[in-house]
A and B are shown apart, each in its own frame.
Chain A
């Protein structure tokens, strides 16, 4: 069960099938494990070469875990990850190491993602050294200079240390490091969330330029829908470990089918002063992924939930419009935003 890629015959660059990442909850060193944090719970999707797939969700929805599971920084509990048809969840050792060249990751924290004790040259060069991508010192030097230039940094910065750079520049260094192995897919885990507003646009533009020049595909993970909509062709919305809606970026913003997506969109503060939009305020907090609600995981907070169906039956993830998938029994119902005080309370 999952979205079908539009052209079924050409092989997708990345295909995730029924991926699950469950962390055992231990109550002490020797006790049996009964509970699991279902961080990623049966997720399937595909990314075509050169396209950007956005992944949106709030904290605790599992998007970061999903990104890390795909690059095997976190081990998947079940499911498959196919990279150009090869299942990387079954690989290990040097085979995996070689394959790692195809997919890389860019991290969120510009201050934690670079080793403070290494120079820029060492940070970017490490990637080249691990995979023996250059055969002489001068070739290595040249390649590092090229990479720095590609991300908009002057070659003279190669001997500097991370603490001398601003957040935006550090993200560029992180991008250069990822580019060094010439990947086909880059998982961008909230790459601009920690940056100043005026710098975010620079990095987003850079990522788009690099995609145009090199044909790299992105899985762009973020919590900011506006940024995701801008950069992605297709967008997935995640809630409590499951994908609740997938569609083209423009479509999902204009005609969101799932109530959670609608609430997410309405919660974004708009810069437009004339906007008379009323907010849909969701009550309560995200439930714990150890004990997700029965039936539809969103039903306790859902403005249009109808018992008993939403509480008992898990809604199937199905196509509700062309290339638009969602999992909701009442998909497409427009929510009336209200100023009802009861709605404002946390549950």
Chain B
């Protein structure tokens, strides 16, 4: 049984006539100890999909209109509040993009980590355990650091504290939503390195959300590419980077400037990312797609397994 199985998840913002579909039939599985990257640009629905795993999206205004989220076999969308509180932290923990905003500025970090411990492993809510966690995430001199306030730490350190808080409850799945986007590239390297090491030591599964394809190469076992509320490509990471199949993935990779690149001019994707409520009919990428045909706007293509373990939402994926 997979650790996480999202089946055909559909979520709207608003009701009835005003409903805007943010997540449109997303299916994704994560096995124990696996690292899956969810790649996409702003507004594609990756963050709300990830937040839905622990039902962290407030309803209203959100509205789950279809699908299931099975965590260890039980549907999160049907859980009671008590069950939800125990899986939050207990089974799945989160690390968010801006560590400065996620830490409470008026409490010392030692206390914040202890709070996480008190909720899930109360017998371990001690300073010693906090120090052990801080060492685990590579914070030097943790004995003195537990008294620090968040503002006394740099962005990289704050993110490490967030990771320590997330790990305190020994979750099976760590959901990291753009954990390094707000950090400098050298600090980003440190954090990604840390996550990689933790993954091996603790056997934890990771759902890593990012818009940076480079991170995918380093970290992921499998990748799901999202566009306008749907998954358009799902594939093992190395395969995707070696040979992307969906026109969006290909265009995205081509438009990123590379080190040692020789392009005079970047191949840009024309147009703008469609916003919720303004999705074009049929294939949502068609208006910007270099290989679009008239029939692409007629109906939304299905996500089809075209090679072993590789799924694409495009009937013309073979076109070079």
Tell me the A residues contacting B by CB distance below 8 Å. Answer: 58-59, 166-169, 196-202, 204-205, 208, 223-227, 229-230, 253-254, 263-275, 279, 281-282, 285-286, 344-347
CA distance A264 to B192 in the complex (A): 15
**Residue pair A223, B238 in contact (C-beta under 8 Å):** no
- Return chain B residues, CB-CB under 8 Å to A272: 217, 241, 258
Closest chain A residue, CB of each to CB of B213: A271
CA distance A286 to B266 in the complex (A): 32
Contact of B266 among A201, A274, A275, A279 (CB under 8 A): A201
**Residue pair B184, A59 in contact (C-beta under 8 Å):** yes
**Residue pair A285, B193 in contact (C-beta under 8 Å):** no
Contact of A58 among B157, B184, B192, B269 (CB under 8 A): B184
- Return chain B residues, CB-CB under 8 Å to A282: 186, 189-190
A228 smallest CB distance to B (angstroms): 9
Contact of A226 among B157, B184, B217, B259 (CB under 8 A): B259
**Residue pair A268, B265 in contact (C-beta under 8 Å):** no
Interface residues of B in 175-201 (CB under 8 A from A): 184-190, 192-194, 197
Q: How many residues does chain B have at the interface if contact means C-beta atoms less than 8 Å apart?
A: 53
A305 smallest CB distance to B (angstroms): 16
CA distance A269 to B193 in the complex (A): 11
Binds A, one of B62-70, B84-92, B117-125, B248-256: B248-256
Among A196, A200, A201, A266, residue most surrounded by chain B Cβ atoms (within 10 Å)? A201
A52 smallest CB distance to B (angstroms): 13
B191 smallest CB distance to A (angstroms): 10
CA distance A58 to B275 in the complex (A): 31
- Return chain A residues, CB-CB under 8 Å to B241: 271-273
Contact of B257 among A229, A254, A269, A345 (CB under 8 A): A229
Contact of B189 among A59, A204, A227, A281 (CB under 8 A): A281
**Residue pair B266, A269 in contact (C-beta under 8 Å):** no
A195 smallest CB distance to B (angstroms): 9
CA distance A230 to B270 in the complex (A): 19
**Residue pair B256, A271 in contact (C-beta under 8 Å):** yes
Using A264-B185, A268-B259, A346-B140 as known contacts, say yes or no to A202 and B237 having CB atoms under 8 A apart. no
**Residue pair B138, A268 in contact (C-beta under 8 Å):** no
Q: Is B114 an interface residue (CB 8 A)?
A: no
- Return chain B residues, CB-CB under 8 Å to A227: 257
* In the A-B complex, the 7 residue pairs with the closest CB atoms: A269-B214, A201-B268, A58-B184, A201-B255, A273-B241, A201-B266, A267-B189
B268 smallest CB distance to A (angstroms): 4
Using A344-B138, A346-B140 as known contacts, say yes or no to A264 and B186 having CB atoms under 8 A apart. yes
CA distance A274 to B212 in the complex (A): 17
Contact of B256 among A197, A208, A254, A347 (CB under 8 A): A197
**Residue pair B256, A268 in contact (C-beta under 8 Å):** no
**Residue pair A268, B252 in contact (C-beta under 8 Å):** no
Q: Is B127 an interface residue (CB 8 A)?
A: no
A337 smallest CB distance to B (angstroms): 11
B201 smallest CB distance to A (angstroms): 11
Closest chain B residue, CB of each to CB of A230: B257
CA distance A227 to B217 in the complex (A): 19
- Return chain A residues, CB-CB under 8 Å to B138: 344-346
CA distance A254 to B261 in the complex (A): 11
A138 smallest CB distance to B (angstroms): 31
- Return chain B residues, CB-CB under 8 Å to A281: 186, 189-190, 193
**Residue pair B266, A204 in contact (C-beta under 8 Å):** yes
**Residue pair A271, B217 in contact (C-beta under 8 Å):** yes
**Residue pair B217, A275 in contact (C-beta under 8 Å):** yes
B109 smallest CB distance to A (angstroms): 14
**Residue pair A344, B197 in contact (C-beta under 8 Å):** yes
- Return chain A residues, CB-CB under 8 Å to B41: 196-198
**Residue pair A226, B258 in contact (C-beta under 8 Å):** yes
- Return chain B residues, CB-CB under 8 Å to A253: 259-260
A330 smallest CB distance to B (angstroms): 20
Q: Is B42 an interface residue (CB 8 A)?
A: yes
Using A270-B259, A271-B256, A344-B197 as known contacts, say yes or no to A205 and B268 having CB atoms under 8 A apart. yes
Contact of A271 among B190, B211, B214 (CB under 8 A): B214
Interface residues of B in 126-180 (CB under 8 A from A): 138-140, 154-157, 160
B181 smallest CB distance to A (angstroms): 10
Question: Given A198-B273, A269-B192, A272-B241, 8 more contacts at CB 8 Å?
Answer: A201-B256, A269-B188, A271-B213, A271-B258, A282-B190, A285-B154, A285-B157, A345-B139
Closest chain B residue, CB of each to CB of A279: B189
Closest chain B residue, CB of each to CB of A61: B184
- Return chain B residues, CB-CB under 8 Å to A268: 185, 214, 259
CA distance A275 to B216 in the complex (A): 13
CA distance A274 to B239 in the complex (A): 11
Q: Is B242 an interface residue (CB 8 A)?
A: yes
CA distance A59 to B187 in the complex (A): 11
CA distance A285 to B282 in the complex (A): 48
Contact of A198 among B212, B214, B255 (CB under 8 A): B255
CA distance A275 to B256 in the complex (A): 17
CA distance A314 to B155 in the complex (A): 28
Using A58-B185, A201-B267 as known contacts, say yes or no to A345 and B140 having CB atoms under 8 A apart. yes
**Residue pair B259, A225 in contact (C-beta under 8 Å):** yes
